[in-house]
Amino acid sequence: RLYDYVTDPAEIYRRSFAQVRAEADLSGLPADARTVAVRMIHASGDLDLPRSLALHPRLVGAARGALEAGATIFTDAYMIASGVTRRRLPAANAVRCLLDDPRVPERARAWSTTRSAAAVSFWGEELEGAVVAIGNAPTALFHLLEQVAAGGPRPAAVLGIPVGFVGSAESKVALVENPWDLPYLVVHGRRGGSALCASALNALAQEAEIA
C-alpha cells in the first residue's frame, strides 16, 4: 500500500470507539445514554458533543422499548432514513419520511409554512407511540409540538437535532421544556443534521457499538 493506514474494519471500529471513550467526557450523561453519545461522537468526529447533548431520563428506555415493540420511525429528511442501518432495527421497523408526499406542497402553501412542517401533519395516527427523528428543519419540530398541544398523537420519543441559524436552538429548548413529559434527546444550539440524527437512531435501535 502507498499509505500507512488501518484497513481491518473491526480494528477501525475498535480503535475509534476506544478513543472516543478515552477522550470524551461522558460523566454528565445518564448511564444508559453513554453508548448513544459515543456513536454520535463517532459519527460527527466531535469530542465536545456531550456538552451540547441533553436527554430526558427516560429517553433511551422509551425509544428502545418502542422500537422493540415495532414502532415506526418518522424522520423529516430522506437522508436520515437513508442513514438508518436496517439490520440494527429490532423489529424490521418502518422508516418513514413524507417530504415528497404529493399532498405536502399544497398544505405548505395553505398553511404558509415549510414543506417539512406540512409533512409532519400527514404522519397521522401511526405517530402514536412512534420514534421521531428530526435532523433538518426546526419548523418540523415546532409543528410536531403544536400538534401534540392540540391533542394529536404522542410519539414515544423525540430526537430533536435540527440544524441551523433560524429557529434551531429555540426549537430544541421548546422540546426540552415540553409540558407533556415527552422523552427527548437534543443537541442544543445550531448544530445538528442528518448524520448526527441517524447515528442516534442507530444507537437506540441496538445497544451494541458494532452491528
Active site residues: 42
The grid cell for 166 is 433560524
Q: Which of 39, 56, 64, 115 binds a copy of itself (CB under 8 A)?
A: 115
Among 5, 31, 102, 181, binds a copy of itself (CB under 8 A): 5
Indicate the residue among 66 and 198 with the shorter CB distance to a copy of itself.
198
Binding flag, residue 122, a copy of itself (CB under 8 A): no
Alpha-carbon distances of 36 from 53, 79, 135, rounded to whole Å: 10, 19, 16
The values of phi and psi at residue 127, to 5°, are: -70, -25
Choice between 53 and 66, CB closer to a copy of itself: 53
Position 82 contacts a copy of itself (CB under 8 A): yes
Interface with a copy of itself (CB under 8 A), residue from 59, 72, 75, 83: 83
Among 35, 75, 93, 171, binds a copy of itself (CB under 8 A): 171
The residue with cell 458494532 is: 210
Burial 50-70 (b: 16+ CB within 10 A, else e): beebbbbebbbbbbbbbbeee
